Chains A and B, each alone.
Chain A
Amino acid sequence: MSTATKQIEELANTEYKYGFATDVEQDIIPVGLDEDVVRLISSKKGEPQWLLDWRLKAFRAWLKMTEPHWQNVTYAPIDYQGVSYYAAPSEKKKLNSLDEVDPEIRATFNKLGIPIEEQKLLSNVAVDAVFDSVSVATTFRSKLAELGIIFCSFSEAVKDHPDLVKEYLGSVVPHTDNYFAALNSAVFSDGSFVYIPKGTRCPMELSTYFRINAKNTGQFERTLIIADEGAYVSYLEGCTAPMRDENQLHAAVVELIAHKDATIKYSTVQNWYPGDKNGKGGIYNFVTKRGICKGDRSKITWTQVETGSAVTWKYPSCILQGDDSVGEFYSVAVTNNFQQADTGTKMIHLGKNTRSTIVSKGISAGKGQNTYRGAVKIGKKAANARNYSQCDSLLIGDRCGAHTFPYLEIKNTTAKVEHEASTSKIGEDQMFYCESRGITKEDAINMIVSGFCKDVFRELPMEFAVEAQKLLGISLEGSVG
């Protein structure tokens, strides 16, 4: 390894700064999973019978399934009986205002820079904060309600808007979809719910902030977003977790439904604890995200910046059912040290004149392994479907890896599908060029990496783009070569 490579590697190794744990009293159920646990979760949440039945159906399906291992990742076997499936801050009484949120939890979110206080009106972001399994605060709710917009925790939606939940839950990701989706369907504890009524443009960014705090717990949240005809919403998701030696499981499900002429933008900045320099600890991030462009001219955009987690396994996908509907996927995935990511998307073209764009930027440093896996399917009836895919990999140092697996399935001859891929290295030449102009090594790496990710960052809402860029710098500190 050359000196420059060594220096770059050093730069990529920065500490995880969200690794603190919060000391709050927890209502946590014993480890293990069986039907009684599913019933217990459901009863703790005071759920209606139909939802319990749905959970049990999912649980029974899960028992018959086996954990998938086709992904390009390796990890120690998960002991599903060694995990607690429900942890909540033990506050029992119903909160009437944010002032009643446990000060410890509020302090946690403040430390993370999450604006859950109503005073932060200027930030113009409505936030739902999920602490371990439970949603602790949702801001701006009344203001949004004036427009008929529903933005609340999943549990509240079950109580207050059961018809909507019943209609859409599992409609995009069925409870039998895959192993982790089935597990989530059985034991999900909370999450966010969004409904934007017809012709309404949501005036602010909606945001959910997920935090895993308790030990030995998994986080299984569910997000359901429905944009009715002509509606628009931009939704942001952020996540962090304390540093713990053991691996923790995060198996979420996100479902998006865009009706006629509706647009949903879903942006994620995922910064779960990635494990330490030696690959100890970290989150297993096994997530199923899928959206359906149900109506004509609807549009779904997934933008993700994945810097955290020990192992990431996720493919935010679009089913383009409506004619002229549009699916987009923009992704930056960073793997450093021993992190592994197998991520990408599926674009399923069913309607006529449907279009999809895939831009994936994988960055590998240290011993990180980064895999892009994407499928483009063009159905028989999808006349004039278009897809453009671009997958670029950037290697930092010489011990990491990048892999690309594009799959195509085309059943209509009028389809046009393009795929471009590239792999490059941050070379000594680029570094030296920047340095010879007076730019420090750190700044040079950040600059080169940001340049590499530009196509994705410009899809993020402004505040997030800045945060993502910083995060990228932090994730790669100590890594360049």
Chain B
Amino acid sequence: MAMDAGEIERLIREGIPDAEVTIRDLAGDGNHYSATVLAPSFAGKTRVQQHQLVYNALKGNMGGVLHALALQTGTP
């Protein structure tokens, strides 16, 4: 089971409408990605809160189907 970059991007965008999302496939196995998510709505939130917003957008796939997603978050 794996996820493709497009699906990850779509889920994050749906969950965080004002996000700019850049996904890089680290291993080509659909399981190891890095993602940079920049969103004005992250302003004033801690890194943990920002990452949690991204994980919530991924609707439970994180840690299950998606094993490794190296996250970088912030405001544009």
Interaction A to B: no
Interface residues of A (CB under 8 A from B): none
Interface residues of B (CB under 8 A from A): none
